[in-house]
Copies of this chain bind each other. A is one copy, B any other.
Amino acid sequence: MSDQSEKKSHGPLTGMRVLELGHFVAAPFGARLLADLGAEVIKVEAPGGDPVRQWGRQVEGAGAPWTSMHQRNKQSLVLNLKDTRAVEIVLKLVATCDAVIENFRPGQLARMGLGREAMERARPGIVIARISGYGQDGLYRDRAAFGVIGEAIGGLRYLTNHPPSLTDLPPARVGVSIGDSIAGLYAAFGIVAGLWARDRKDGGDGRGRVVDVALTEAVLSMMEGMLPEYGVFGSTREPQGARIATASPSSAYPTSDNKWILIAGNSNPIFARLAALMGRPELATDPRFAGNAVRVQNVEALDEAIGAWSVRHTAADLDRMLSEADVPSTIAYTAAEIAADPQFRARGMVREVEDPAFGTVLHAGVVPHVPDDPGGVRWAGPAAGAHTDAILAACGLGSEEIAGLRAEGVVA
């Protein structure tokens, strides 16, 4: 193992050991959250490595920079799970772990000899988080899990759109794999909940549990009042574009330098300050705008007035003016503004991480922040198989045996 991987672990999950049988986003992200808080995570990758390593722009010979963040704090072991000797190695590792996190298609691990019973035999009380598109049972369980499909089934895509009166464009995708990441976060939550139930001094039951996270369901769980409103009133929630249905003004407004500035000015005192800043103090007492309820009714006219003002100023000037007037606002941050933000920097939420493959790489920090006992970035994401020899040796395999398995393509 590298020097870096031997750095002392910190964080509330120090002492937890997790096996990741994951690929792409959901399970690897969930496992990384556990690792960031101190858990020891062994990532099992297929020969060639997790296909996510090919995503995004590449550095020749080193792969995609986001690998550095996505796989950080993990140990990487490359195994060909089609070989029963690799399956035996997995079970040896399960025997040493508290939890497993996986996002194979439902039933696929069982067909390989890595079902729950085999894992329970290897490690009674193992907690297994399974992430899939639609869940481990039911009519849809065998459907392929595509993030964009799952997000649309969970209700997110329909609502992330402009009203049809404004445009014929299709609803925008949230620009990241939000459904996968939320599912991964739920899996991490479920694992720790299962381990608290199993391990606590006072009442822990020593039992393992399966945590069955569906991408569709993780997304649906974020849809706040949508279902209760539909059930009681029979009304479907409709997309509101850049606005909020019940608060005005609250939208994104254009700037002279082709950026967007968000303004949340829907309380009366804030709106009065905004109107004064715009040089139009009369708006605050205009009967169309004197109170949030009427502002919502006349939102088109109000947003037009605000946009006509905002577009005459640069984003930086608006940011400064609105801030001085104590009107909640922000530029819609790109990566550049995030990287430069002093609050993110001060809290370690944007940080430079040394990476042997890429040099210094900018990472997002550890969430949640636990100031008494922070996790951290102990090392950047390793190359596929970087820890294969060390992990196999710790499983009791000799170096000749490892060389033999490598020659046969069972490990890499």
Contacts and interface: CB of A to CB of B under 8 A. Distances in A.
Interface residues of A, number: 156
Interface string A33-57: 1000100000000000000000111
Interface string A50-76: 000001110100001111111000000
Nearest to A185: B185
A408 interface: no
A353 B146 CA distance: 31
Contacts of A129: 368
Contacts of A329: 149
A22 interface: no
Contact of A330 (B149, B217, B350): B149
Interface string A329-367: 111111110110111101101101000001111111101
Given A196-B200, A217-B369, 20 more contacts: A57-B229, A129-B368, A149-B262, A156-B176, A157-B333, A159-B174, A166-B169, A167-B167, A170-B242, A171-B172, A173-B240, A173-B242, A175-B237, A182-B182, A192-B196, A212-B370, A220-B350, A221-B364, A231-B361, A232-B361
A322 to B, nearest CB: 11
Contact of A57 (B148, B233, B335, B342): B233
A204 B12 CA distance: 10
A166 B170 CA distance: 11
Contact of A372 (B157, B187, B210): B210
